Every structure is written in structure tokens, then in C-alpha cells.
Structure 1
């Protein structure tokens, strides 16, 4: 008996008389008179239901359903598990899966209008300052989440040592953003007394929940946030654009952020997930699925965070941002 599942890297867009499948960087079109039904059927493919069960539940004949599965598998949208497949996954295979889906997930977040407007100078100085303030609060929260995940890893000495070292390296990185905000015109007390947006707190809470739940889930979320070698060039272009549009007086506002990026690279945080996975002999599939789901939920929360910043800060006078008592 076989069990189909829709790959994490696949997304579905419904249109009249067809479905568009976005798989990694490719687009596939499937013509159908019932796109809504086909989309519903595909979303039922989670690896827990057999081909026979899925066909019956979605009113397909066995032959028609197997033909559909063959088509979907040929374009890379699904995989099919055999009943004899092991219920475990190699840790480095899990890390590889994460690296395969992360680029598309990052694209989903960082192609939102806010980021284009930020890097093209279309946002107000208040929006730019707001983005830095929210980053300050998130990075300041590293002390809370890294202490939790270090405690959670008490049964694996190697992982505990990794997280302890990470804690030592990250505990004061909010100071890079504090320095940038001070060069922008904030005092230290104004930054410290600022209240983060609910969506920023949601990201912090999600990371803390992952830290309490499972070290692999936390490592997956952390790996999504860390830059990789492939992100480095884009990151420097991002900072160059911020300098051009928001530091016209050349106060060096962006330099602390660049220093922070280079320090993370020096620490080797870009392969953090692989380092954690190397400390584990094997992963249950259920555990790896939950870890990947935690990373995906982080992505959805980051989308909400982006929207929250875009609507909250745009029309606020910069002088009002420096009012420590101000909130919404």
C-alpha cells in the first residue's frame, strides 16, 4: 500500500479551468474542469492516507487517481511513500530538505511590498526606524529563547554545548541595532522603553515555544533566520540600499548592521542546522515533520510581522516615535 504526500516546496493557485503548481522555481499548469476539487484532493495528500482511501474520499476511480498521481509525481509536486518505508529520517537529510524549501519561503516573505518600498526609499524615515526598533526587540529576546533551548537540550550534551556557545555569541547582539538607532537620533532610554508590536512579540513567543518543545524545531527556525552564503550578496545589496536612502548625511547608521552580519558569518551561524543535526543519530519522521512545520509557522508569522510594520509606522511623525510612552 502506498501513501502520497504533497511536497513542502509545492504551492497551488486555483484559476478557472486550471490549477497552477509552483514547485521550487518552476511553474506547472494542470487543466481541469474542477480546479477546486483537484486542489482539495491534493491538499489531502499528507502521507497518512493510502491511494485507495484518497481515491474513495475524493470520488475518483482507482485508474483515474493513479493516473493523476503519476502526473503529479512526474512534475515533482508529490512523493509516494511505501508501507515498508522506515519511520525515521537521516538528520542531514532533514537539513537538506530545509535548505531546499527555505529559498522559496524567504522569497514568500521578502518579496512583499514592504521590503521593496524599504529598499527603494519609498518608506518614511519612521518606517525605517520602526523596522530597526522591532529588530532590536527580537534580537534582544535571544537571551530568553536561547536559555530555554539550552535547558531543553539537557539530554544531549553535544547539542547543549552548541546552544550554550550560541548563547554566548548572541546574548548582546541587540547592541548593534541600539547603536544604529542612536545614530538615527534615539537615546538609549527611548529605545529600551519602546514597546514592540504584537507581531514582533508573536515571533519571539513562537521561537520560545519551539525552544521549549524540541531542539530540532528550534534549530530549523533559527536556520531560516540565519543568512547562508547564497544570501550574503543580497544582504549587502540590502544594506547598501538602506544607506543610500536613509543615511544621506553619512552618519554611519547602517554600519553596525553590516558589522552584525559579518560577525554572524565569522561565528559560522550559516550552517547552524547542519551542526545541530550532526549531534543526532536519527530522527523520527513525526519529529522532523513537526520541526519543519514549526519553521513554516515562523514564515507565516514573519509575513504578519511585515504587514504589521507596514501599516503601523508609515504615517507616524518621527518625533512621535521617540515618545517612550507611545503605543498604537
Structure 2
């Protein structure tokens, strides 16, 4: 199998395959199963992927894969390049390359976030949502946590503006981006109200610790640097696949058919996504600001990739805990706001 496009994988690369990928064997053939697609290999390619699959975990260099499997380095690189071009694999050592031009960094980030989106979107939470297996409590719990996340733009995006140390032009564009998102929490509040959840209870409910952790991390990133901060929107903003009126309407109409009790909530999701589509948010602010010939230091290249990869972990935790907490029928919905008596009783116990 030959790689037909430019491939930057080298002997020192640390290839990592999608965690949800599995490999099955049928006589002399092998099939790689990833969410949404299957890839068939035969002959020497089947032998090669069978030999290296369990070690494509981001901890083994391409050279070590070649040495351990007994296959030529060029053949291993060609196979891995093919998987990378299918967004099944990334190079965990790519962040050690630098400095890079803004154009180079943007393209590498765009390629990597496709991989991480696939990983996030195939967590058990999303599988249950799309299979219609979530309870009413889990769906509305998701809506409440998502309201807190969206409304938190008034924390972290405000910090992104305040801590911008770059040109006035960049600060103004970051500020304009914040202004576009500042009132979007209200859209979700109205949607939850339409489903019968009182607005005050939703507003005053404590977000789950995992939701708060995600928001806190976004605040930290916003105060670090404008380049690293805007890079996170490459992951957070939707991509172009189905991100149009017809695609969005079809998707949320299906969710409403699965969960008719959440018509208001999913109507809010549709309204919000449609606004983002109209504002052109399928092209991230990171791309719009930094896709140029200006050089980015090795340190910022490394921080960009490290930040995006850490943000993936926060999002996975966010969805996992929504699924777990609201999956318990004894959980509060919305969660009760703290009372002064809670703190008084705690102090008395001490």
C-alpha cells in the first residue's frame, strides 16, 4: 500500500490509533473497524497491520514498530500514512516540531481535531443518545449542563479579550467573537423552559463538578495566550459536515422524534447551531486569525497541541458524568442551589 499524499510521519513519530478502533481477522484478511467505517486489508498489508496494531498507541515510535514487526520502515510509514489520511491516526510527537508558520500550524491542528472529534463523538453517552436509550432525566440533565457551559462564555471568552496581549486588530476580533456568543445561554434557558423546567431553578443549579472543571480549564487557557486560546475553538466549533440548515434540521428533528419530551431543548440546540452556521463558525476563529506566514515558536506549537489534547479529556469527563449522574433516578434535576444553612450546619459540625 503506497501513500499517495504528502506524509510527515518519520521514524521518530509516535502514531496513535483511535481508541475505539478494533481489528478482526478472517483467514488471510484483516478488517479495521472504526466508528462509521470499516477498512479491509489483505496480503502483506493485512500481515503488517496485524503485526503492529496493538502497539499503535502513541507510545511506540515508527522505528520501534518496524523493528518489532520485522517489516521495512518504508512499508510501516506507508500504512500509517494511509490511516492518518483517513483521520484514524495521529502523530503524538507532532507537537515537538517547530517553529512553524501559522498556515502550517492551522492545517496540522485542523487535521488533529478531526481525529479527536471522532473520539469524543463515539463515547458511550453519544451512542446512547443516538440510539434513543437515554432517560428523560439524562436528556434534560444534559440540557442543563450545556446551558451552564454555553453561558460560561461570559467567563472564559471575556478573559480571552481581557488577557489578549497581541495587536488591537486581534483583540477586536476576539472581542467580536465573544459578543456573538455572549447571550447564547438564554437560547438554551428558553428551550428548557419550554420543556417545563423553571428558569430560576436552572440558572441557580450548581453545574456538575465535571462541567465546572471544563469551564475552569477554558478560563485558564483564555488567560495563557491568544494563539493557544483561539486554537481550542478548532475543537469546540462544529466542522462543515452537515453544518448547514438542511443537515442541522434533519439531525435535531431525529433527536426530537426520539425524545419528544425535549422538543424545546433540541429546538434550542437547532437555533443555536443555525446561528453559528450563519455566522460562519464552521471556520474557526483560530484559522481566521492565524492562517498566515507569521512564524509560531516551538513552545507555542507544543502548548497548542497539549492544550487541545487536554481539552479532549475534559470534554470526555463532562459527557461521562452527565450520563452517570443523571442516569441515577435519585439525582436532583435541576440540582439544588446551595443555601446559607448548608454552610452554617457544616461549620457547626466542625
TM-score (norm 1): 0.77
Aligned residues of 1:12 and 1:39 also touching (Cα < 8 A): no
**Alpha-carbon distance in structure 1 between the residues aligned to 2:316 and 2:242:** 19
Spell out, residue by residue over 1:191-214, the C-alpha distance to the aligned partner (whole angstroms, 9 max, x if none): 111111111111111211111112
Aligned residues of 2:22 and 2:34 also touching (Cα < 8 A): no
Q: How many residues align?
A: 304
Unmatched runs of 5 consecutive residues or more in structure 1: none
| Alignment of structure 1 residues 1-328 onto 2, 5 Å | 4-7=12-15, 29-32=48-51, 43=59, 45=61, 69-75=73-79, 76=81, 87-232=98-243, 235-247=248-260, 252-272=264-284, 273-278=286-291, 281-316=294-329, 320-322=332-334, 324-325=336-337
Aligned residues of 2:132 and 2:259 also touching (Cα < 8 A): yes
Aligned residues of 2:130 and 2:255 also touching (Cα < 8 A): yes
Unmatched runs of 5 consecutive residues or more in structure 2: 1-9, 24-29, 40-45, 85-89, 340-350
Aligned residues of 2:232 and 2:307 also touching (Cα < 8 A): yes
Aligned residues of 2:149 and 2:211 also touching (Cα < 8 A): yes
Aligned residues of 2:239 and 2:283 also touching (Cα < 8 A): yes
Alignment partner of 1:269: what SS? coil
**Alpha-carbon distance in structure 2 between the residues aligned to 1:142 and 1:6:** 35
Spell out, residue by residue over 1:239-289, the C-alpha distance to the aligned partner (whole angstroms, 9 max, x if none): 1222112225x9644222211111111222221221121477121233123
**Alpha-carbon distance in structure 2 between the residues aligned to 1:9 and 1:90:** 27
Alignment partner of 2:327: what SS? coil
TM-score (norm 2): 0.73
Alignment partner of 1:305: what SS? helix
Aligned residues of 1:120 and 1:241 also touching (Cα < 8 A): no
Alignment partner of 1:155: what SS? coil
